[in-house]
Amino acid sequence: MQKKKGKWCYLTPEFVILALTGACNFKCRYCYAANQALVKLPHAAIRWALDMAAANGKAVTVQLTGGEPLLAFDRLCYAVEYAAEKNYYIKWQIQTNASLITPAVAEYFAKHKIGIGVSLDGDVTRNNAARIYPDDTGTAHHIMRGLSILRDAGLGVGITCVVGRHNIRHLDSLIPMAYYAGNVFRIGFDILRPQGRASVSDTVTGDEMQAALVKVLQKADWFYRKTGKKITFSHSERIRLLIDGKLAPFGHCYALTNRALYVDPSGDCYACASLSGQPEFRLGSYKEEIQTECMQTVHERLEEMLEQCRECDCLKVCGGGCYARWVKSKQAQEAECVLKKIFIHREQKDIIHKGVVV
């Protein structure tokens, strides 16, 4: 990013999220993207976003999302094949509910080296309390079927688990599910945001998060000892980078550091997927020039809100909070702080155990 005439303007984002469709075959109770248009991302918007991202010739990460992106598999193929035709250097990712994965889809992922993230919220009971079909039936069996197809294709996956009222008391039930799948190499916890279908009453307290994570880590350590296979946690990886000085505070927030672009199914653009659909955060669209004044305003709002983090002693090893989780309450979320502090303590203990001076 650079400033132009006192305003922020895009050069080339390092991280692009393309919402290929607003449609989804699930109807999760907490979906923050529930109000997206039920359309497919225009081909012209795909070309525009990829051209901009690849303009400086450097590698860029492009994540394909939805809705459920596999409902727009034609758009997925178009994006991948357009980038290949242009010789763009892109690291592909997809975030999917896994229910629509077939052997042919898995083969396509493998061929094009698409990194895979799958959403799963715990065991069958906990997952099916929130991740449901429109007829209220559970989705866990179809998610696990998709994971098994990916496993048979030799593909590893990262699991994203939304943490909310529906699963907090049994959050550790996710660990045996991940080991049972056989191809999960990473778990990330995404604290529920009170947006879309979710409300503040669906969120969890710091004390609840503390109790849940203690059980999660105990169970993860037990499975590691018994199997010899270690599943990492994304928060641990990020904190280790911060401790080692390889990631700056707020480095995880591409929106705050002006390095990201989210394109919704209609082609409208935002600095972050979690801010989509909110007019005050809209930056423009593929049909028009990105509004630099809007970018500056969004940047200033993020800076102002996250100033609380800059006063915290943990910032250098925490990295800072998530604005999208703060926007309604206008303050730091206790559960998020607790989650990060637990992983900070875990990583610092590991470093001391290995005899490394921090």
Q: What percent of the chain has pLDDT over 70?
A: 85
Residues near 130 by beta carbon (within 8 Å), at least 6 away in sequence: 28, 29, 30, 121, 162, 164, 166, 167
pLDDT-derived band at 89, boundaries 50, 70, 90:
very high
Of residues 145 and 261, which shows the higher confidence score?
145
- Whether residue 352 is contained in a domain is answered as yes
Expressed as residue numbers, the domain containing 319 is 11-357
Residue-level pLDDT at 331: 53
Of residues 3 and 211, which shows the higher confidence score?
211
- Contact at 8 Å (CB) between 194 and 322? no
What are 325-336's pLDDT values in tens digits?
666 555 557 898
Residue-level pLDDT at 239: 87
DSSP secondary structure letters along 176-244: HHHHHHS-EEEEEEEEPPS-TT--GGGS--HHHHHHHHHHHHHHHHHHHHHHS---EEHHHHHHHHHHT
- Whether residue 2 is contained in a domain is answered as no
What are 306-353's pLDDT values in tens digits?
677 777 777 778 777 776 666 655 555 789 889 999 999 888 876 555
- Whether residue 158 is contained in a domain is answered as yes
- Whether residue 227 is contained in a domain is answered as yes
Q: What is the total count of domains within the chain?
A: 1
Of residues 140 and 240, which shows the higher confidence score?
140
- Contact at 8 Å (CB) between 72 and 37? no
pLDDT-derived band at 2, boundaries 50, 70, 90:
very low
- Whether residue 1 is contained in a domain is answered as no
Gap between the Cα atoms of 348 and 337, Å rounded = 16
- Whether residue 205 is contained in a domain is answered as yes
- Whether residue 107 is contained in a domain is answered as yes
Grouping H, G, I as helix, E, B as strand and the rest as coil, residue 58 is coil
pLDDT-derived band at 12, boundaries 50, 70, 90:
low
* pTM for this model (two decimals): 0.89
pLDDT-derived band at 249, boundaries 50, 70, 90:
low
Residue-level pLDDT at 174: 99
Q: What mean pLDDT comes out for the span 140-163?
A: 98
- Whether residue 5 is contained in a domain is answered as no
Q: What is the 3-state secondary structure (H, E, C) of 142-158?
A: HHHHHHHHHHHCCCCEE
CATH number for the domain that contains residue 245:
3.20.20.70
Q: What mean pLDDT comes out for the span 149-176?
A: 98
